[in-house]
Chains A and B, each alone.
Chain A
Amino acid sequence: MGKSTIIPFGPQHPVLPEPIHLDLELKDEKVVKAIPSIGYVHRGLEKLVEKRGFQEYVYVAERVCGICSFGHGWGYSKAVEGLMEIEIPKRAEYLRTIWHEISRLHSHLLWAGLGADALGFESLFMQCWRIRETILDIIEQTTGGRVIFSVCKVGGVRRDISDNDLKEIVKRIEKLKKEIDGIAAIFLNDETIHSRLKGVGVVSYDDIVALGAVGPTARASGVPQDYRLGDEGGAYKDLGFTPVLATEGDCFARAKVRLLELYQSIDIIKGCVENMPAGDIAVPVKGFPPAAEYFTRVEQPRGEAVYYVKGNKTKNLERFRLRTPTNANIAVLVKMLQGCDLADVPNIILTIDPCISCCER
């Protein structure tokens, strides 16, 4: 025994929604070393700030990633508003929060479906995505697009949601809650899923802190790292927020954290709708960004994303830098892959919820 093979995993692979290449050195179906090779989705869009006006660029920022699209639009707008010291109306803040939490719902359900599919559980994949269509309907009716919303802008939001529509959203989400109960019951109680996920890809609290992981990956090992806790002026502060934590640090704990965050998002949306302030949805933006720097953060479904902007008194910003959560989680991924079985490789890759297009921009 002791045959060593190198399996090239990706960039084209049915289990991966996005191209990432891993050279897996195997010894009898156990991974000894994993060497990642990224760069397939790199478009170089950070340099586009030099060509597109600062207000126009929000549409490019949204297209960093199709799954966390709204979060990127929000982060960029927030950064430029902070740079230009614009204060947006409270209603816009609450609307943005509602859309962002809806985005989190759709992202976690998408992840649940892909995770189930990687385990070979195709019917669970179909059910998760069928439920997700309800959310996509809500998004389409309020913004016009299923995937790319294009409602965030520098200064506020472009569209309003009427009070009737808000009540309708709450009704639909209540109905969705029952269906999520069904999915969560299978995920958390099924024996075959337990045997595949429990004890796989364990990361300790200290490793998470040392490697700098963020998001549900970190929260599943007990690290209470969630930007919504430290939110300065948004709806999260008004509503109060506690992060969902787990302690085991294995794939099952990460799945549990994401499923529980679904319920938390539903509660946040309901809270926002109940306390929705009246008022404008945007303020006019005059002038150009000053020659200064600003950075802000947004808690994306995958973790904390950092947005840095630098202005130079012209229509185009000088620099836009985005540190996405997957950037921070790749180190943890490589650590988890060492010593795992070949059959666990897709599970481990999907457990950090990789968004390679976010990672490479």
Chain B
Amino acid sequence: MSDMVCNIVSGIVYLILAPVIGGLLAGIDRKISARMQRRVGPPITQPFYDFFKLWDKQPVAVNKAQRFYIRGFLLFAILSGFFFFAHGDLLLVIFTLTIASVCFVIAAYASNSPYSQVGAERELAQTMAYEPMMLLVALGFYLHCGTFDAKAIVQSPAMNFIYMPGIFIGLCYILLIKFRKSPFDLSMSHEVHQELIQGALTEISGPTLAMIELAHWYENVLLLGFVYLFFAWAPIWTPVVGIAMCALTYFSDIVVDNCCSRMKWEHMLSSAWVVTLVAGFANVAFLMYMR
């Protein structure tokens, strides 16, 4: 089988399996959080029930632009995941993900509600906080493995984490922002009692909201794919290590979520940049020196 067919097949597998895995991850998240709070919690398949229920609701949209941009958000989130799992270029994946967030922000701005507007501003602040680190991740892989290609990175001779611990710590820090967990769930939150009602999601309901959920599932699987890149290398048994580390990272994010209150956006921005500078840049400088 030629390389290209292999790539396309794995991309298609991603397209089909990612919503299932993403939904199950969201369900496991809610179940574990509930258990930590001494409750029983919903069944693991609850996110799927939520999705289908939202799909059946009466669509109440503020204007047509909203639905258009959310479709764009979903499309680019799926595309970036597809590029990643079809063993594409890391830099292309990161920038496509950025386009997805911009679509989301424009959709939030599309309504006149002040909650939506402030939520959109906070989403932009979040993007400012995590974009530098994402670019450093790509840069770090390039300096270490000599390429942006995901497939080649996974086949590298030694575990990537050993040379890039600082970058991994930086990535974990911004994963809290991307997974929308406390202390950084500022612009939209699954928990209810926040000052912006649902923030950027305030005016979005019904099938459009279902599309956002779906896009988040695709995105979460993609982000865990980034974590996987750090821990899998050439030997054939290493995918187990990679998947185990992905699970561990996700679980520790749930633990942090349950142990912290929400921070203000100024703190989020400054702390994310401090971590990027200290952990990320130090690691990149080390890798450049090693070359």
The answer to whether A and B belong to the same complex is yes
Write the residues of chain A forming the contact surface with B, with a CB cutoff of 8 angstroms. 5-8, 13-15, 26, 29, 114, 116-127, 130, 190, 192-193, 195-196, 341-343, 345-346
Is the CB–CB distance between B261 and A119 below 8 Å? yes
Binds A, one of B75-83, B188-196, B205-213, B217-225: B188-196
Is the CB–CB distance between B195 and A343 below 8 Å? yes
Is the CB–CB distance between B263 and A195 below 8 Å? yes
Is the CB–CB distance between A346 and B261 below 8 Å? no
15 further interface pairs, Cβ-Cβ under 8 Å (given A6-B114, A120-B194, A343-B264): A7-B115, A15-B193, A119-B261, A120-B185, A122-B33, A123-B37, A126-B37, A126-B38, A192-B262, A193-B261, A196-B262, A196-B263, A341-B264, A343-B265, A346-B194
Write the residues of chain B forming the contact surface with A, with a CB cutoff of 8 angstroms. 33, 36-39, 114-115, 117-118, 121, 182-183, 185, 189, 191-197, 258-265, 267
Min C-beta distance of B180 to chain A, whole Å: 11
Is the CB–CB distance between B114 and A7 below 8 Å? yes
Of the candidates B33, B115, B189, the one whose C-beta lies within 8 Å of that of A120 is: B189
Q: How many A-B residue pairs have CB under 8 A?
A: 88
Min C-beta distance of B189 to chain A, whole Å: 7
For the complex, what is the distance from the CA of A244 to the CA of B50, rounded to whole Å?
47
Is the CB–CB distance between B192 and A14 below 8 Å? yes
A124: chain B residues at CB < 8 Å are 261
For the complex, what is the distance from the CA of A359 to the CA of B182, rounded to whole Å?
34
14 pairs, CB–CB < 8 Å, chain A vs chain B = A13-B197, A29-B118, A116-B261, A117-B193, A118-B195, A119-B261, A120-B182, A120-B185, A120-B189, A121-B182, A126-B39, A196-B262, A346-B193, A346-B195
Is the CB–CB distance between B37 and A14 below 8 Å? no
Of the candidates B36, B117, B260, the one whose C-beta lies within 8 Å of that of A5 is: B117
For the complex, what is the distance from the CA of A13 to the CA of B262, rounded to whole Å?
18
Closest to B192 in A: A14
Min C-beta distance of A88 to chain B, whole Å: 42
A5: chain B residues at CB < 8 Å are 114, 117-118
| Contact status of A123 and B36, CB under 8 A, knowing A29-B118, A192-B260, A343-B195 | yes
For the complex, what is the distance from the CA of A15 to the CA of B189, rounded to whole Å?
13
Is the CB–CB distance between A190 and B264 below 8 Å? no
Min C-beta distance of A7 to chain B, whole Å: 4
Of the candidates B37, B185, B195, B262, the one whose C-beta lies within 8 Å of that of A345 is: B195
Min C-beta distance of B251 to chain A, whole Å: 15
A118: chain B residues at CB < 8 Å are 193-195
For the complex, what is the distance from the CA of A6 to the CA of B36, rounded to whole Å?
39
Closest to A120 in B: B262
For the complex, what is the distance from the CA of A116 to the CA of B264, rounded to whole Å?
15
B197: chain A residues at CB < 8 Å are 13-14
A341: chain B residues at CB < 8 Å are 264
Min C-beta distance of B136 to chain A, whole Å: 25
For the complex, what is the distance from the CA of A256 to the CA of B273, rounded to whole Å?
33
Is the CB–CB distance between B191 and A122 below 8 Å? yes
A125: chain B residues at CB < 8 Å are 193
For the complex, what is the distance from the CA of A121 to the CA of B257, rounded to whole Å?
8
B262: chain A residues at CB < 8 Å are 119-121, 192, 196, 343
Closest to A130 in B: B38
| Contact status of A14 and B193, CB under 8 A, knowing A121-B261, A190-B261, A195-B263 | yes
A193: chain B residues at CB < 8 Å are 261
For the complex, what is the distance from the CA of A43 to the CA of B189, rounded to whole Å?
35
For the complex, what is the distance from the CA of A121 to the CA of B33, rounded to whole Å?
12
For the complex, what is the distance from the CA of A122 to the CA of B258, rounded to whole Å?
7
B38: chain A residues at CB < 8 Å are 126-127, 130
Min C-beta distance of A121 to chain B, whole Å: 4
For the complex, what is the distance from the CA of A125 to the CA of B33, rounded to whole Å?
13
Is the CB–CB distance between A15 and B194 below 8 Å? yes
Min C-beta distance of B27 to chain A, whole Å: 17
For the complex, what is the distance from the CA of A14 to the CA of B265, rounded to whole Å?
21
For the complex, what is the distance from the CA of A345 to the CA of B197, rounded to whole Å?
13
B183: chain A residues at CB < 8 Å are 120, 192
For the complex, what is the distance from the CA of A196 to the CA of B260, rounded to whole Å?
11
B259: chain A residues at CB < 8 Å are 123
Of the candidates A6, A14, A120, the one whose C-beta lies within 8 Å of that of B261 is: A120
